[in-house]
């Protein structure tokens, strides 16, 4: 009996020893079924084994996405405590009951506020002054009850202040329903519009709204509709229909409220239609006909229009024209074109004109007095910052409101007296905890590109950090559509920076950071410059001891996902890990499919692959098509099932194919939000969980 007991203890000890010393079985990723699909164009045949993943109605597709989510959860389970810590840190910096800076319009002060623990904003106003009783326009937390996703697209108040028209997306696919709320009775009623684009604008009669409607299949911007809010049958009427699939479309009105505008635009050309807002039964007329490579924006001022245009001016110039004769032959020049200054926007006042300009990659605010042309600039102190025209709804004021931020300065709103040149801070984002801007340093660097251009970089790190090449660094880029990557404060990033990370923004070509030529040199048949610039920035940061390949990480989303996807095909050894958010990676297949939302409107950006020259060029960098058998860095790929801008199957297919070809022992993870679209979770606090996962992914990879 005694010997049997000793034997049992011996065997238990042996079992325990092997269970402790034998590694646990490594979690295995889902294996996607391979079904051959031949894609033939211009005599070229591409084989896509994961083409079948396009069908969101196919249960096998949903099962695969769920399996990927479970795999990620398993692989990242050991970071759950870190994720919670990161979430708590980021949440702890947020003043949860914060309100926005109030702005004045038509007799009321408007603002948004949050309540403690609230995911969504509450839209409010007060009559005359901020001491007046609060009136809640939209209580979004209550409205969102029962929905997994809820977002207000846009809203507009009727000129008599009695009604609000607003748009709601409950899927995340930019398919909005329009509602009308009586602000005196609080009665809310839906309209006929269920595939609205998100814009809505009142005419001056207080009973007519105009809005854009999408094609329910392609989600193409298709028609402008007029709706009479008195509620008669057949109140909805098609007012304009756009046949050219190259254009996005939207409706708005001029700042003074005198004109309604319909804008058709692509990245290379546009056209605007105008109609007096007090004549909603009238017909819109063309301000200036669309022309190839011609862009313009307008604003009305006392019987004339100001026009910002690239007509004979690559970086744009300012023109003016009589309201009754708007064609370009009647335009006269106010501000000429400048080679070193990009004219980005304007805000018109009764006595002043404000121009937003960009010089050496940074924005400037130019104040011009209307009666005599006297002008000056608002000065800014930091080496790298972002300033911008904020909400300026009133014409008859000498106060200009602008926003200001940097990588170390929280978002701040200033009121600037255009006569006295005095400015006052009226609001600043509250950052709770022990955050002190003096603990951090921002620098502006320039990396030499392989063709001789100087690529700006903005970096931030803790002031006591010593760049020795051993620092982890997260490099961010975008580089498409002319969108400039401006340095803005992000309180979430403190959680990385305080753990020794350097954060770097690469101002690569494809944006307009250094002027319109910067954009032209990173689009269409110049697109590869975008990827080369990003790689050259990485090599510069390594060469100058800011980081090393074992500590360098990169991130990009949407077209920025295309960027990092192309880069890791070209230079995978440079990066330890990549975060690719809703990445546009299946470029050729998507741009050949006109049934996919937005495809034809993107030809001005990427080219039309039905033309062989563009097909061949796209194919040369398309991340999905250029995957080869090599070692890839660790990847965290995010997606949204209802994404209308990058269809969910692109990151899904990319994940499956990368795993098939990857020769390195690295993690390739996919997480799909099954209840959201391009922007991820709609709630401000739930969104932090997604950020916490991404940060935990990066921190877990640091050796």
Q: Are 140 and 150 in contact (CB under 8 A)?
A: yes
Asked if 678 is an active-site residue, the reply is yes
Other CB atoms closer than 10 Å to residue 619's CB: what's the count? Answer: 17
Tokens 């340093």 found at? 441
Q: Are 219 and 241 in contact (CB under 8 A)?
A: no
Residue 298 and residue 280: Cα distance in Å, rounded?
20
Lateral strand order in the sheet of 285-288: 248-253, 259-265, 270-276, 285-288
Q: Are 341 and 359 in contact (CB under 8 A)?
A: yes
Active-site choice (263, 643, 644, 682)? 643
Active-site choice (406, 644, 678, 682)? 678
- Alpha carbon distances (Å) from 535 to 470, 480, 508: 19, 16, 10
Other CB atoms closer than 10 Å to residue 44's CB: what's the count? Answer: 12
Listed in order, strand segments (DSSP E) in 244-295 are 248-253, 259-265, 270-276, 285-288
Active-site choice (480, 558, 581, 644)? 558
Classify 202 in phi/psi space as left (phi over 0), alpha (psi -120 to 50) or beta.
beta
CA of residue 123 relative to chain centroid, distance: 22
DSSP H or E segment with residue 629: none
Q: Are 402 and 389 in contact (CB under 8 A)?
A: yes
Classify 500 in phi/psi space as left (phi over 0), alpha (psi -120 to 50) or beta.
left
DSSP H or E segment with residue 85: helix 80-92
230: its two tokens: 């008195």
Q: Which of 277, 224, 268 is nearest to 249 (CA)?
A: 224
Contacts of 613 (CB under 8 A, 6+ apart): 525, 607
Residue 130 and residue 270: Cα distance in Å, rounded?
40
Residue 591 and residue 182: Cα distance in Å, rounded?
44
Where do the H-state alpha helices sit in 571-647?
Answer: 587-591, 603-606, 612-621
Lateral strand order in the sheet of 473-476: 440-448, 454-462, 502-506, 473-476, 552-557, 577-581, 634-640, 668-673
Half-sphere exposure of 373 toward its Cβ, with a 13 Å CA cutoff?
2
Q: Are 332 and 317 in contact (CB under 8 A)?
A: no
Q: Are 354 and 346 in contact (CB under 8 A)?
A: yes
The residues assigned a catalytic role are 558, 643, 678
């Amino acid at each position: 009996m005694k010997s049997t007991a000793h034997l049992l203890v011996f065997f238990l000890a042996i079992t325990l020893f092997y269970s402790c010393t034998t590694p646990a079985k490594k979690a295995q990723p889902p294996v996607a079924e391979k079904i051959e699909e031949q894609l033939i164009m211009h005599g070229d045949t591409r084989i896509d084994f994961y083409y079948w993943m396009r069908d969101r109605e196919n249960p096998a597709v949903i099962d695969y996405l769920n399996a990927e989510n479970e795999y990620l959860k398993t692989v990242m389970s050991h970071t759950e405590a870190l994720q919670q810590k990161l979430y708590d840190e980021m949440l702890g910096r947020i003043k949860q009951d914060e309100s926005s800076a109030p702005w004045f319009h038509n007799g009321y002060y408007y603002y948004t506020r949050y309540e403690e623990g609230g995911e969504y904003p509450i839209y409010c106003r007060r009559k005359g002054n901020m001491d007046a009783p609060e009136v809640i326009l939209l209580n979004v937390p209550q409205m969102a009850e029962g929905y997994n996703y809820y977002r207000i697209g846009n809203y507009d108040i009727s000129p008599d202040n009695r009604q609000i028209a607003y748009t709601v997306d409950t899927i995340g696919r930019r398919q909005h329903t329009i509602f009308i709320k009586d602000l005196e009775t609080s009665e809310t009623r839906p309209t006929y519009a269920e595939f609205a684009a998100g814009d809505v604008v009142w005419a001056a009669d207080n009973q007519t709204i105009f809005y854009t409607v999408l094609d329910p299949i392609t989600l193409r911007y298709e028609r402008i509709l007029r709706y009479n809010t008195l509620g008669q049958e057949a109140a909805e009427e098609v007012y304009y229909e756009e046949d050219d699939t190259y254009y996005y479309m939207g409706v708005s009105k001029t700042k003074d409220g005198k004109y309604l505008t319909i804008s058709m635009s692509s990245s290379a050309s546009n056209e605007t239609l105008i109609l007096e807002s007090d004549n909603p039964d009238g017909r819109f007329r063309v301000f200036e006909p669309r022309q190839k490579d011609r862009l313009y924006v307008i604003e009305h001022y006392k019987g004339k229009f100001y026009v910002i245009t690239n007509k004979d001016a690559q970086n744009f110039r300012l023109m003016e024209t009589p309201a009754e004769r708007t064609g370009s032959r009647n335009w006269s020049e106010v501000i000429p074109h400048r080679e070193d200054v990009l004219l980005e926007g304007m805000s018109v006042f009764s006595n002043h004109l404000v121009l937003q300009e960009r010089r050496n990659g940074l924005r400037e605010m130019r104040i011009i007095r209307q009666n005599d042309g006297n002008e000056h600039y608002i000065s800014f102190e930091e080496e790298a910052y972002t300033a911008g025209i904020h909400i300026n709804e009133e014409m008859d004021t000498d106060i200009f409101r602008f926003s200001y931020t940097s990588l170390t300065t929280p978002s701040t709103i200033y009121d600037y007296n255009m006569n006295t040149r005095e400015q006052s801070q009226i609001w600043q984002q509250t950052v709770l905890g022990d955050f002190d801007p003096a603990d951090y340093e921002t620098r502006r660097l320039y990396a030499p590109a392989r063709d001789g251009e100087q690529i700006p970089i903005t970096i931030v790190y803790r002031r006591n950090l010593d760049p020795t090449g051993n620092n982890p660094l997260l490099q961010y880029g975008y580089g498409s559509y002319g969108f400039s990557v401006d340095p803005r404060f992000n309180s979430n990033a403190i959680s990385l920076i305080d753990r020794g990370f350097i954060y770097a923004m690469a101002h690569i070509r494809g944006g307009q950071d250094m002027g319109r030529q910067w954009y032209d040199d990173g689009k269409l048949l110049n697109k590869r410059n975008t990827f080369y610039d990003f790689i050259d920035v990485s090599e510069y940061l390594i060469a100058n001891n800011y980081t090393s390949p074992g500590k360098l990480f990169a991130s990009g989303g949407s077209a920025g996902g295309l960027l990092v996807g192309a880069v890791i095909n070209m230079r995978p050894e440079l990066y330890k890990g990549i975060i690719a958010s809703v990445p546009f990676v299946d470029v050729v297949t998507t741009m050949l499919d006109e049934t996919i939302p937005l495809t034809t409107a993107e030809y001005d950006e990427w080219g039309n692959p039905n033309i062989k020259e563009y097909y061949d060029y796209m194919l040369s960098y398309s991340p999905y098509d250029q995957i080869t058998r090599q070692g890839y860095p660790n990847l965290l790929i995010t997606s949204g099932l209802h994404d209308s801008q990058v269809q969910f199957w692109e990151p899904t297919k990319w994940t499956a194919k990368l795993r098939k070809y990857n020769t390195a022992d690295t993690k390739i993870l996919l997480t799909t939000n099954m209840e959201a679209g391009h922007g991820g979770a709609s709630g401000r606090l739930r969104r932090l969980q997604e950020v916490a996962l991404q940060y935990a992914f990066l921190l877990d990879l640091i050796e």
